[in-house]
Amino acid sequence: MSHRNYAEKIKEISGVNPYKCMKCGKCSATCPSYSEMDIKPHQFVSYVQSGEIEALAASKSLWKCLSCFACVERCPRDVKPGKLIDAARQLVVRERGGDYLSADEIPALLDEELPQQLLVSAFRRYKR
């Protein structure tokens, strides 16, 4: 997949239109993990806009986002940066192979290193 396609994929998974962003920075102003992130939430939106997905995929922000969705809640333009981060994270996880797991497989795979937020956000996404 080209970089463009990755960006499209992220938009598709998240259902977010990054062009609605008016660059007010409220997402970054709201973010409780801001200091831990290398790419800040508002930058995430412009990275997806410009298709710089490699940097995003390599960013540690993916694993620092708490999926608290404060940015989603407070964004005045309905851009939902948190959902973009979620989508990018999901993309990276899928790239590593094996999109879906059966419930039986999970216990064996759980380890200390597994980021808690991944479970939380997966639960949020698939709870229905």
Task: Considering the complex, state which of residue 43 and residue 117 has its C-beta at the smaller distance from other proteins.
Answer: 43
55 binds other proteins (CB under 8 A): no
User: In this chain, which of 28, 66, 92, 125 binds other proteins, going by CB under 8 A?
Assistant: 28
Q: How many residues bind other proteins (CB under 8 A)?
A: 23
83 binds other proteins (CB under 8 A): no
CA distance 65 to 68: 8
- Closest approach of other proteins to the CB of residue 118, in Å: 24
User: In this chain, which of 35, 96, 99, 113 binds other proteins, going by CB under 8 A?
Assistant: 35
Dihedral of the alpha carbons of 44, 45, 47, 48, in degrees to the nearest 10? 120
Q: Are 39 and 47 in contact (CB under 8 A)?
A: yes
69 binds other proteins (CB under 8 A): no
Distances from the Cα of 49 to the Cα of 42, 73, 102, angstroms = 11, 21, 34
